[in-house]
Amino acid sequence: MKIGILTSGGDCPGLNAVIRGAVLKGITVHGHEFVGFLDGWRGVVEGDIIDIPRTMVRGIAKQGGTILGTSRTNPFENGGGPAVIKDHMDRLGIDAIIAIGGEGTLAAAKRLTDAGLKIVGVPKTVDNDLDATDYTFGFDTAVQIATEAIDRLRTTAESHHRCMIAEVMGRHVGWIALHAGMAAGAHAILIPEQKISIEQIAQWVKEAHARGRAPLVVVAEGFVPDYMESPHSERGLDTFGRPRLGGIADQLVPELEARTGIETRATILGHIQRGGVPSAFDRVLATRLGMAAIDSVVEGCWGTMVALKGTDIEHVGFAEALGKLKTVPQDRYEEAAVLFG
């Protein structure tokens, strides 16, 4: 069997480990042949591929990014669609596709599977917001990077007696902010799931400052304070029609300074959280998911993705995977809020 692999959407640590796990198991156990679609769905729509022999995946599990490249191409636009993609697959002798990506990638994979294409998915999102899997690779690395950065912000904040606001990723959910904030000892954690007033945030900041601390606020990019109607976005839409978020930390700075009188600075971590080498946890998880994706192909489980349930890898349908986001539960936030102020 000839299998095509693609990585689509935002890059994240662990993508190469998935590719390696899939290729090594596919070749050594089943004798499969592999090709890679270049730059995500763009390569699928245009039939742009490269061969992936075993030698190509040697030692790549520890590398960040993706050797195949990625993009936010919509496979149903710019001359794409099921018929075009199937023609390319037939012409190139590709029997099935393993699509590695997040919500947008898997939603596109579901539509293509519904149209008759043979596709299985591997979930990828640093936000850890897919409900059908306990964890996604990339999340652990993003939290570690954010924690280390926030630790560095704390030392400079204490030197200048300032309040620091660290903005982390989290479009719809606050898992990175929650974990990194708790790990770094934040005095306030602001996430999309919780509508917090600017007065309450200022109160937490003043309480920490009154104890001689340099207040530390961790905010997810999708957080919406009570004086705003929607997440801060000034960079337009992506190819899937979603607002490009980022900058809420800068919006909070003057509001907090006005209410607290404390000099405040903002740092937006942005793509730093998606770069660099994956953590050991993410390397292992990504490798296991890649190997399990081969099982899905061999068993003909089209229209499914592999998922981590506890410590086991299971196969779930795209519909279940895309049914709802995995948000931070109220009890988890209240647990963290005990430490605020």
Euclidean distance between CA atoms 26 and 40, whole angstroms: 20
Distance CA 57, CA 53 (A): 7
- Would you say 304 is a known binding-site residue? no
267 is in an annotated binding site: no
Quote the tokens at residue 93: 């002798």
Q: Is 147 annotated as a binding residue?
A: no
185 is in an annotated binding site: no
Let me know: does 189 contact 136? Beta carbons within 8 Å.
Answer: no
Please check if 101 is assigned to a binding site. Answer: no
104 among annotated binding-site residues: yes
Residue 105 known to bind ligand: yes
Catalytic residue among 127, 129, 140, 282: 127
Q: Is 136 annotated as a binding residue?
A: no
The rounded distance, in Å, linking the Cα atoms of 121 and 12 is 16
Strands 304-309 vs 216-220: parallel, antiparallel or unpaired: unpaired
56 assigned ligand-binding residue: no
C-alpha to C-alpha distance for 87 and 93, rounded to whole angstroms: 10
| Residue 170 labeled ligand binder | yes
Q: Which residues lie closer than 8 Å to 217 by C-beta, 6 or more apart?
A: 163, 164, 165, 166, 186, 187, 188, 189, 190, 201, 204, 205, 252, 256
The answer to whether 232 is annotated as binding is no
31: left (phi over 0), alpha (psi -120 to 50) or beta: left
Q: Catalytic: 127?
A: yes
Q: Which residue ranges make up the annotated binding site for Mg(2+)?
A: 103
Q: Which residue ranges make up the annotated binding site for ATP?
A: 10, 72-73, 102-105
Active site residues per annotation: 127
Q: Which residue ranges make up the annotated binding site?
A: 10, 72-73, 102-105, 125-127, 162, 169-171, 221, 265, 271-274
